[in-house]
Amino acid sequence: MASKSAAAFSPFALHAARSLTAMNMRMCSSKLATQQHQKPKRSPSRPEPSETHDWIGPPDRLSNMRPIVYRVPQDESELEGRLRRLRQDTEDWNHDFWTRQNISFTQGKETFISSQLNTKGLTGRDENGRRRTLNSEEMSVFYKSFLDTNKTRHADYNKEWYRRNFTITLLMARVALKNTWRTFTERCDRKKPVPPNG
């Protein structure tokens, strides 16, 4: 039974979790501008692994990714354990990268808007107290600058993402092949005639 702290997580069968592991590249809201560049933390309410289900949590407020805790079956083989640990490590690595990237984006955006408003002699709020914004053409300068500045970081992320997914796919194929072979040999063993007692 899940603890109360894990109430935000929902149990899903393994195949359901696999469909949710695609990366989520949405940017965070502007309230992240006050976050410091520190090691991203996972929710303290993260549940312990289940033997029967993966745990899927709500989207993280910094990375916008759903945290996943993969199940640990009682009869997990060494190969299955390697696959699970790599998948879990990849989930955490993704969370860390997008948390840092989203915070960096939001802080850069706020700094850019403030700078542009100062150049125009405007404050951050209008006479009615509403936040001033820039139009899409003005913001496109920041978006291009951010992409250019982070080009190498994104390229490195993509290389590592493909490397990890290739390894995960190979391990999944090996696990599937091993399980298929085990099922086949078990069926063959059951079909063997029992020698008569002499």
Opening angle at CA 58, ends 74 and 81, nearest 5: 25
Per-residue pLDDT tens for 128-183? 888 888 889 999 999 999 999 999 999 999 999 999 999 999 999 999 999 899 88
pLDDT at 81: 93
pLDDT at 125: 85
pLDDT at 109: 95
With a cut of 60, say whether residue 34 has pLDDT above it: no
Please state, in angstroms and rounded to a whole number, the distance separating the CA atoms of residues 54 and 61: 21
**Between 163 and 15, residue with greater pLDDT:** 163
DSSP code for 51: S
What b/e sequence results for 7-20 when a residue is b if at least 16 CB atoms lie within 10 Å of its CB, and e otherwise? eebebbeeeebbee
pLDDT at 43: 52
Q: Mean pLDDT, the chain, as a whole number?
A: 79
pLDDT at 127: 84
For 61-119, give the DSSP string: TTT----EE----TT--HHHHHHHHHHHHHHHHHHHHHHHHHHHHHHHHHHHHHHHHHH
User: What sign does the dihedral 101-104-107-110 (CA atoms) show?
Assistant: negative
Percent of the chain with pLDDT over 90: 47
Residue 195 pLDDT level (bands cut at 50, 70, 90): low
pLDDT at 27: 38
pLDDT at 180: 92
With a cut of 80, say whether residue 114 has pLDDT above it: yes
Domain boundaries, the chain: 4-191
